[in-house]
Structure 1
Amino acid sequence: MMPAARLQATIEILDGITGEGAGEGAVRPAERVVNDYLRQRRYIGSKDRRAVTALTYDVLRHHARLAWWLQRGRGSAAASRQQLLAYLLLCEHEDPQALNRLFDGSRYAPPPLTTEEAALVERLEEAAREPEQPPAWVANEVPEWIMPRLEAAFGAAAEQEAAALLQEAPVDLRVNTLLGSRADAVAALAEEGIEAAPTPLSPRGLRLGGRRALRATQAFGAGLVELQDEGSQLAALLCDARPGMAVADVCAGGGGKTLALAAEMKGQGRLLAMDAEQARLDRSAIRLKRAGLSEGGGGFVERRAQKNLAAAEDLQGTFDRVLVDAPCSGSGAWRRHPDARWRLTPEALEGYKAAQHDVLRQAAVLVKPGGRLIYVTCSLLPEENQDQVEAFLADAPDFAALPLGEVWAQVLTVPYPGEDPYLTLTPARHGTDGFFVAIFRREEEA
């Protein structure tokens, strides 16, 4: 593809995410739109796919600033062409003559600039010469109502944390120790021309040097490695699931943490993956098989759809470890999904908080005396993290918080990177996605 053709493809994708193609007032998940667009155009080569995807995400990472500039230039932030024009002019510093050459209406190129668009470019260029300081929420690319929450969580470091959420996330892998060691995985990937280095905190992790077609590799196909952020790996390791234990993953979804728990248990004991929706559990079947794990019929891993955990009387008080990877805003993973921050609303956050409240209390009844309840979110917002666990402890006198530093020292050899009693991992401080972990122990029966 010529550079102009890449621009036209980007405009069409952006239109499907936030423009007319998304429907009035809608914002479709970028990953889904990009994948659908490229799947329908398999003639586009891998290099062009990477370039178009990267440009799309770069525009999305500048969403608030572009909208702010377009408003001042009397443009429209909902117009995909105008978003891209503003990005090229203000972020890539293309001059107007270069834009006219790229938007020339030739085959596969964007149509020429209209008189209105040309005037917009002039106004944006003039405004850029006399820059005006945007509000903090615009400069940090977060919704206006989110900025005070980040400031409450991180104080003076809030802007540093917001800036880190704009960076491209690394590609992290978890080595499946049921099938090989980290050294085995490094060697297997090297044979296929992929460089991988150990992650600094997780003893099961590898970090790739750049983006690669991992799913096409032998190491992935054979189940030796799985895609999983280092922070997510650490959350699973902190469950301290051991061979012979009974362990429940009650918000299992696609099974990422279920697979990690299974490896730590070495295929011995009982591992129950639960979710409110059977469809989400079904997505884990292929991953379980690839990882070399048996399922059902006496197999090590069981799957069970269960909307109300408290109604599962046969499970109450039977588990050594219960992991609650709670539904949440996903604010800690905004590096990977920069468009998700603009889909989050105060109403949606209230819904997540209600779900967290319910699932935490329902899951507690599954823990046996002396067992542990592990609460995890991929959120950086206090009301989904500390506020939730403090409210839970007030309601559950038979549970006590375990200092995370003590648990960390029991399962990991690197120094503890957080503060007690809970652990918050962030992109700025630790290079991981944002994660929150709290661990509670149920008191022994008298």
Structure 2
Amino acid sequence: MTPAARIETAIQLLTEIMDTPRPADAIASLFFKNRRYIGAKDRAAVAGQAYGVLRRWARLSWWIEKVGAPVTPRTLVIADLMLSQGKTPESIENNFAGGRFSPPPMSDAEWKLAKALETRTLAHPKQPDPVKVEVPDWAAEPLQRAFGDRFLAEMGAMLGEAPLDLRVNPVKGTREEAIAQLAAAGIEAKPTALSPVGLRLEGRAPIMALQAYKDGLIEIQDEGSQLVAFLTDAQPGMQVVDFCAGAGGKTLAIAAMMENRGRVVAADVLAGRLTRAKERFRRAGLHNIETRPLANERDPWVKRHKLRFDRVVVDAPCTGTGTWRRNPDSRWRPLGPGLSELEGLQASILESAARLVRPGGRLVYATCSLLPEENERQVEGFLARHPDFTLLPVPEAWPANWGAPPVKDVMLRLTPLRHDTDGFFAAVMVRKDDGSAPVAEGEGEAEEAGEA
């Protein structure tokens, strides 16, 4: 592709992302699937241009609005070419020459924008702090309150791309064996700093095409997500529920910790995701997992199985503020419920899932959010309502046979700045063992008909 064709294709991709209420990675995948004639290098260049705009959206928009132009896919790309790539107005005009594969010629307003930005840089002292670090209005106040004078540093660490982390499946092999297999494929991998089964790659690689992936030795999973699974300290023979299992990443990690013994129930309200996760379970060689579609968080299945599980994991739906490095579009295009609605949903899910925990069992609450409203406040509210649960500090929850705990805090709080992981939160709560016996299976089923 010519440079002009790449620019036009990036504008088309950005337009689809802005107009389609789906995650940008799914839109991009379908976009390129429908354009198989685009080669690998051109795909990378086009995606890099489009995602670069998403990562610099607030600053680019600030400049465009300052000049008085409308914010559109074309003006965003023009501004990005000027401010991030150092192009001249004349070189941009040459690429916007019209023709079959080139962008249509620049309008007078677009030319004025390019000329106005000719001597500018992306950053400007007058940009508000949230603009400087690409924080949307809806999240600015809670994040500023959460981080205080660390706000700019913490959010600045989220401007770049996330690293590519892998989790080694101990049922299939060791971390050293995985490193050797990756090296044989020409891929350098190093042990992660916090997860005892994690690997971090230098650069990008086609992981799903590797034999180590096809054989189930490795899975793609951020290091922070791996740590959440370890906080269950799930042992062989236990009964475990992953209550919001999604695509099954934590389910896989927990089942592997249990050495294929015991029972892991992957539950979710999205049955389609559970169906797709089954292939991951088979590839990993894990046979102690079953799936359980739920109608909602208060599905009758929960009442029938109250007090029956040693471990219950609630990876609650959240704003995803901790994953902005991976999903920069989610800053500007929230596709699910807003923060206030999510807070109510998280509390409801936690309340219902807690019924499954047996006396002495653990309830692990986690999010990929940096907002206290979704994290500490939820845990504090739950504990205030449930004196039969107590908080277990991370160092005590961490399994002794997997090395030193990653942090010394009571609750797990990970950020890209301090830990070079996605933003994650987790808290471990234990139901007091007062001698209560689990409800009989038949008793729960008899009550189902009257459940609200």
Shorter-chain TM-score above 0.5: yes
Matched, 1:47 2:41: yes
Residues 382, 229 of structure 1: CA spacing in aligned structure 2 closer, same or farther, 3 A cutoff? same
Native 8 Å contact 1:273 1:303 kept in 2: yes
Q: How does 1:158-197 map to 2 (within 5 A)?
A: 158-197=151-190
Q: How does 1:22-33 map to 2 (within 5 A)?
A: 22=19, 28-33=22-27
Match in the other structure for 2:17: 17
2:396 to 402, 406, 409: 406
- SS of 2:137's partner is coil
Match in the other structure for 2:359: 369
Aligned residues: 433
Q: How does 1:91-170 map to 2 (within 5 A)?
A: 91-125=84-118, 131=124, 133-170=126-163
Residues 98, 32 of structure 1: CA spacing in aligned structure 2 closer, same or farther, 3 A cutoff? same
Distance 2:210 2:267 in 1: 30
Distance 2:31 2:335 in 1: 27
String of CA shifts for 1:358-403, please: whole Å, max 9, x gaps: 1111111101101110001000001000000000000101000011
Match in the other structure for 1:279: 272
Matched, 1:390 2:377: no
Distance 2:122 2:79 in 1: 14
Distance 2:4 2:252 in 1: 43
- Cα distance, 1:3 vs structure 2: 1.9
Residues 238, 131 of structure 1: CA spacing in aligned structure 2 closer, same or farther, 3 A cutoff? closer
Q: How does 1:38-437 map to 2 (within 5 A)?
A: 38-77=32-71, 79-125=72-118, 131=124, 133-294=126-287, 300-306=288-294, 307-309=296-298, 311-312=300-301, 313-344=303-334, 348-408=338-398, 410=400, 412-414=402-404, 416-419=406-409, 421-437=410-426
- SS of 1:353's partner is helix
Residues 161, 202 of structure 1: CA spacing in aligned structure 2 closer, same or farther, 3 A cutoff? same
- Cα distance, 1:216 vs structure 2: 1.0
Native 8 Å contact 2:171 2:256 kept in 1: yes
User: What residue ranges of structure 1 are gaps of 5+ in the alignment?
Assistant: 295-299
Residues 128, 273 of structure 1: CA spacing in aligned structure 2 closer, same or farther, 3 A cutoff? closer
- SS of 1:145's partner is helix
Distance 2:17 2:64 in 1: 18
Distance 2:115 2:53 in 1: 20
Q: TM-score, normalised by structure 2?
A: 0.92
- Cα distance, 1:314 vs structure 2: 3.0
Match in the other structure for 1:297: none
Residues 130, 335 of structure 1: CA spacing in aligned structure 2 closer, same or farther, 3 A cutoff? closer
Distance 1:27 1:366 in 2: 35
C-alpha RMSD of the superposition = 1.9
- Cα distance, 1:195 vs structure 2: 1.3
- Cα distance, 1:201 vs structure 2: 0.7
- SS of 2:310's partner is strand
Q: TM-score, normalised by structure 1?
A: 0.93
Distance 2:105 2:121 in 1: 23
Letter in 2 for 1:247: V
String of CA shifts for 1:214-257, please: whole Å, max 9, x gaps: 11111111111111000000110111111111111011111111
Native 8 Å contact 2:270 2:293 kept in 1: yes
Distance 1:331 1:411 in 2: 32
- SS of 1:168's partner is coil
Native 8 Å contact 1:138 1:144 kept in 2: no
* 397-406 or 129-138, larger mean C-alpha shift: 129-138
Native 8 Å contact 2:194 2:406 kept in 1: no
Percent identity for Structure 1 against Structure 2: 47
Distance 2:35 2:122 in 1: 40
Letter in 1 for 2:311: R
Distance 2:36 2:47 in 1: 14
Residues 394, 125 of structure 1: CA spacing in aligned structure 2 closer, same or farther, 3 A cutoff? same
Distance 1:241 1:170 in 2: 27
Residues 223, 73 of structure 1: CA spacing in aligned structure 2 closer, same or farther, 3 A cutoff? same
* 383-392 or 42-51, larger mean C-alpha shift: 42-51
User: What residue ranges of structure 2 are gaps of 5+ in the alignment?
Assistant: 436-452
- SS of 1:283's partner is helix
String of CA shifts for 1:130-154, please: whole Å, max 9, x gaps: 9551111111101123122112212
